[in-house]
Copies of this chain bind each other. A is one copy, B any other.
């Protein structure tokens, strides 16, 4: 079931991703979501709430999108990085939506919180997957490395292109796994 709020949040997310945060006023967001200003403010009572709503929407859909793929082995661990490559192909390549939001609203505690939550969830995803292939090892350092590669890939894709960034991230990830004696 898609609620009306969910539909609007999806439109907001798409607009922020395509056009950035700074250059997108509330009136433009309203037009893009095809609702009246009053209705928009009913569900998101301030511009900041619209940004938070869009980020929360993307947080939800991103982890759904991550599901599937190989369910064991090294490929299972590397799947979020491969999948990020697909994501970067589908959406406009303007870097990480969460970090862009942070850059545009450095003083908003609510936005900072949702960004940190999303990134923490992503780091946990890597830990969870690593434990499936190395249950008796300390995988914390590897999890940090994979997270770093994931972040770097998003930013690098803007400058070096998606394919080269993905390949570099995967190469480095495999080397890091090998260096720790995994796979």
A binding-site residues for B, Cβ under 8 Å:
19-23, 94-96, 99-100, 102-107, 116, 119-120, 123, 141, 144-145, 147-156, 158-160, 164-165, 167-169, 171-172, 174-176, 178-179
Most buried by B among A154, A156, A174: A156
User: A155 — which chain B residues lie within 8 A by C-beta?
Assistant: 96, 99, 151-152, 154-155
Partner of A145, one of B154, B158, B159, B171: B171
B159–A119 contact, CB under 8 A? yes
Partner of A156, one of B21, B148, B168, B178: B148
B144–A168 contact, CB under 8 A? yes
**19 interchain pairs, CB-CB under 8 A:** A22-B104, A94-B106, A99-B158, A104-B104, A119-B159, A120-B159, A144-B160, A144-B164, A148-B152, A148-B153, A148-B172, A152-B155, A155-B155, A171-B176, A171-B179, A172-B175, A175-B175, A176-B176, A178-B179
Q: Which residue of the partner chain B has the closest CB to A159?
A: B119
